Amino acid sequence: MRVATSLKIAAAALALGTLGACATPFRAEVARFQQMPAPQGQSFAVEPRDERDEGGLEFAQYASLVAAEMTRLGYRQAAPGEQPDFLIRMAYGVDNGRERIVADPFYADPFWGPAWGHGFYGRPLIVRTRRGLRYVHGWYDPFLFGPRFGDVGIRSYTVFTSGLDIIIERNGTGERLFEGSAEAVSRNDNLTELVPNLVEAMFTGFPGNSGEKVRITVAPPERRR
């Protein structure tokens, strides 16, 4: 009996590890306003909107991503000392995060069905559905899922909101040609991972329909090959 229980716990832990290892797509909401001319080799330069980023290595890394996207579209990065046709002003950042509290979805997942027997404490799990409360035979480990409040499994985690803003102006006149913003919510606050995804989302379908807000999904790196 103890061997069977140990096997169940090991299998459940393995399943959780497999689920946690699966890379999830990056989802962003992108809003764009534009009157961009068709690409005909016009030159551009990427500048920070925040003067404190001027000359920064981190900004230069992200600026190179924007430059690569513009070049792919048919524009041309201005040579050193050349006056560009367009100025691209970029800003990015991530907030300090906020706590999100949810009921653990595994309690209602059929994966944890009758094959796992009763709950860890010798009783079935109780799940609230549209038709009221119902009993679900499942497996529960407080060390994996966190504490239970009554008959509801609760867990909390921190989510972060990141953003990227890009403005493109005609050099010399200041005429606005493009205004775009991309925003995403994630469990990660690492800008070196977030900004590349935000840039890719911003330039997906660029320049887009003016005044339209779209949701764009960026595939994990291993799925882009």
**For the chain, what percent of residues have pLDDT higher than 90?**
53
pLDDT for 43 equals: 97
How far apart CA 57 and CA 67 sit, in angstroms, is 15
Buried b (16+ CB within 10 A) or exposed e, 59-68: beebbebbbe
Using CA atoms, how far residue 16 sits from 26, 144, 169, 196, in Å, is: 21, 9, 49, 28
Residue 207 has what pLDDT? 95
**What is the distance, to the nearest Å, from the Cα of residue 110 to the centroid of all Cα atoms in its chain?**
27
Check whether domain 26-97+158-223 has CATH 3.30.160.670, yes or no: yes
Residues in the chain, overall count: 225
Query: Structural domain boundaries of the chain?
Result: 26-97+158-223, 105-145
55-95: pLDDT as tens digits = 999 999 999 999 999 999 999 999 999 999 999 999 999 99
Determine the pLDDT at residue 104.
59
